[in-house]
A and B are shown apart, each in its own frame.
Chain A
Amino acid sequence: MHINLTAVAKANAGFLERVKAASGQDVAQCYQCGKCTAGCPVGYAMDEPPTRIMRLLQLSLKDEVLNSNAIWLCSTCATCTTRCPKDIDIAGVMDSLRIMAKREGRIKAVRSIDLFNDVFLGSVRKYGRVHELGVGMGHNLRTYKPFKDADIGTGLMLKGRMKLLPSKIKGQGEIARIFNEVRKLEEAE
């Protein structure tokens, strides 16, 4: 099937502008040299490597972008950003795309990563700091792999490097407020 660029541009009008507003980056400037993909440590595992994400964006192919696993596999190492000859913060664009995908409920591609973020931030919200054991176990339980990395966890514990119980900061209320207010403000937008 041919992609009808006219129809796509009409259907996804404003998408590119939203990406631009969220990331502060003009992806139209990308001239498809491929340097980002060439240096991407995770590019080999992506369905749409960074260069193609940029191209899909240029054509406003929103579904392809937001449903890709690439935006989730991106490790945000910023190698692409550092080397981009057109000075595009590609990693920053990836951040914005992840946020957009999550808000639209498009998290199927790599659910485990999104889940990790949820569990991680859940811990921060609850205690003010991350309880690493809790995050690891929580993630494992919710991905139905309770014993994944159990050896590493046990090792850490035996070496006294894993706290069994989370420590809560005094200002936990401030943290919870930040989470609540951010959500309110963003929902209002």
Chain B
Amino acid sequence: MKYAYYPGCSLHATAREYDQSTREVCSALGIELIEIPDWSCCGATSAHSTSHLLSVALPARNLTLAGKMGLDIAVPCAACYQRLRYAQIELDQNEGVREKVAAVTGTVYENKADVKSLLEVVASLDPEYLKSKIVRPLDGLKAVCYYGCLLVRPPRVTGFDDPEDPQTMDNLMRACGAEALDWGYKTECCGASMGISNEAITLKLVRDILQVAEKAGADCLVAACPLCQSNLDSRQTHINRAFGTGFKMPVLYFTQLIGLALGIEPARLGLKSHFVATAGIVKFAT
């Protein structure tokens, strides 16, 4: 399996551990990732809040770069994934937009590279194959999988899993030996996009998610998006201060947990750079 890898801006900075663990896990599972040379930002929420054309043109450049590689794209970041998918669909179906994008990028788009989320890529492996690779099963770990918004919504754009009760991550966690708890906040918004501009709202949304996770009896939250992860992880001190709560809920990337189960050293999975300590979770990998 070979993919054009689009890490996105976060994975080169605030989400380095996602990048690290992704590369480690993929290499252990035989998924070859080739970073798209000179990829650029997808524009994220800011672009589609400012100009529809810009929000398609920015991803279009990356789609074209990947198309030249002759590979489908694997995208770890949920926001990048959704924007790239959206652009792909829009360019494919809307002729007017396609022409305008050609005008502003100077390149005619050809629909050659399909966009897949990293979660989708890993989940497409044969489950038996994945299980055969597990050397340190996460027995006894109770995890709640958090998909957030952009991985599953809107389904017209994403579509690889159910928007109300997705299971992809849950199944991967089960394959790793952990217990994936059923809970009600799998796809509730964490407000990451407003973390900087409107923290009060973000704190409330994160607080609600942590509360439901805690009540479900989770040892940790599992994320598949750098924005969700850092939002849920780094704001717990602020939340505890604002609401008088005492959250200490570790928030891990699904790649980190799979990495642990595959027997990869925690240090190589970036498990030391979290805000809420992950040592308690690492212990489950036996």
Main secondary structure of the interface of A (DSSP, over half): helix
The verdict on B87 contacting chain A, using a C-beta distance below 8 Å, is no
**Of A41, A112, A171, the contact of B205 (CB 8 Å cutoff):** A41
- B240 interface residue (CB < 8 Å to A): no
Flag if B54 contacts A170 (CB, 8 Å): no
Contact residues of A between 170 and 189, Cβ < 8 Å to B: 170-171, 174-175, 177-179, 181-182, 185-186
Closest to B65 in A: A171
Cα separation A136 to B9 with both chains bound (whole Å): 14
**Any chain B CB within 8 A of the CB of A59?**
no
- CB <8 Å contact, B163 and A82: yes
- Of the candidates B46, B149, B197, the one whose C-beta lies within 8 Å of that of A121 is B46
State whether B43 touches A152 (Cβ < 8 A): no
A12 to B15, CA, bound (A): 46
Q: In angstroms, how far is the closest chain A Cβ from the Cβ of B285?
A: 21
Does B247 belong to the interface (CB within 8 Å)?
no
Stretch at the interface among B102-110, B132-140, B215-223, B249-257: B102-110
Contacts A81-B154, A178-B57 known; A185 to B104 CB distance under 8 Å? yes
* Interface of chain B residues 120 through 172 with chain A (CB within 8 A): 149-150, 153-155, 163-164
Within B17-69, the residues touching A (CB, 8 Å) are 17, 38-41, 43-54, 57-58, 61
Number of interface residues of B (CB under 8 A): 61
List chain B residues, Cβ under 8 A from A120. Answer: 44, 46
Residue of A nearest to B40 (CB): A128
* Residue A35, interface by CB 8 Å: no
B 177-210 binary contact with A (CB < 8 Å = 1; else 0): 0000000000111010111111101000100000
Find chain A residues with CB under 8 A from B189 CB. Answer: 41-42, 75, 77, 79
What B residues does A86 contact at CB under 8 A?
none
* A128 CA / B44 CA spacing, docked (Å): 13
Contacts of B41 in A (CB 8 A): 124, 128-130, 175
Query: Chain A nearest CB: distance from B97 CB in Å?
Result: 11
Q: Lowest 5 CB-CB distances: which A-B pairs, in order?
A: A77-B189, A181-B104, A159-B273, A117-B46, A77-B149
